[in-house]
Amino acid sequence: MQQIPDFTESELWKVKTTLQERYGEVVDTQIVDTEIRLSQMNRELAPCPAVYWEKDKCHLLVIKSGERSYRAQFFYNAYTQFGTGFKDFDDVSDCIVTLLQVHADHLTEKQKEEQEKEK
């Protein structure tokens, strides 16, 4: 099984700085352990480190899936999980920016749906 390295200080700095720029405040992040399938062909789950934070009742993750490989997702509960539409990123900055944009787009769409229901 492939050993996934921990996040480097540089990678963590990029994530935390991007979050602070996005939200306008320091965001409390945690390094957590996750298990993911590294490929669709592989049935085994591989342990991978991830940066985790919560914002507005949403859980967000940037997962390190290789030496220079990252994935991202956000979820509200076990039944409502969302990805970015990309399997892997080779740059943590691209990964976090894309995750934040997809999440913002999701929130905008959710607000539109709620406004339509009120009409």
Has residue 54 been placed in a domain?
Answer: yes
Q: Which domain holds residue 76?
A: 9-118
Please say if the pLDDT value at position 7 is more than 90: yes
Domain total for the chain? 1
The pLDDT > 70 percentage for the chain reads: 98
pLDDT band at 95 (very low <50, low <70, confident <90, very high): very high
Mean pLDDT of 52-66: 95
Has residue 113 been placed in a domain?
Answer: yes
pLDDT of amino acid 2: 67
Does residue 30 contact residue 51 with C-beta atoms inside 8 Å?
A: yes
Has residue 47 been placed in a domain?
Answer: yes
Does residue 34 contact residue 48 with C-beta atoms inside 8 Å?
A: yes
Has residue 2 been placed in a domain?
Answer: no
Has residue 1 been placed in a domain?
Answer: no
Q: What is the pLDDT of residues 17-43, one digit of tens each?
A: 999 999 999 999 999 999 988 877 778
pLDDT of amino acid 42: 76
Has residue 13 been placed in a domain?
Answer: yes
| Complete edge-to-edge strand list for the sheet that includes strand 46-55 | 30-36, 46-55, 58-66, 69-77, 80-83
Has residue 15 been placed in a domain?
Answer: yes
Q: Which residues contact 46 (CB under 8 A, 6 or more apart)?
A: 1, 2, 4, 35, 36, 37, 38, 65
- What six digits make up the tokens of 71? 């994935």
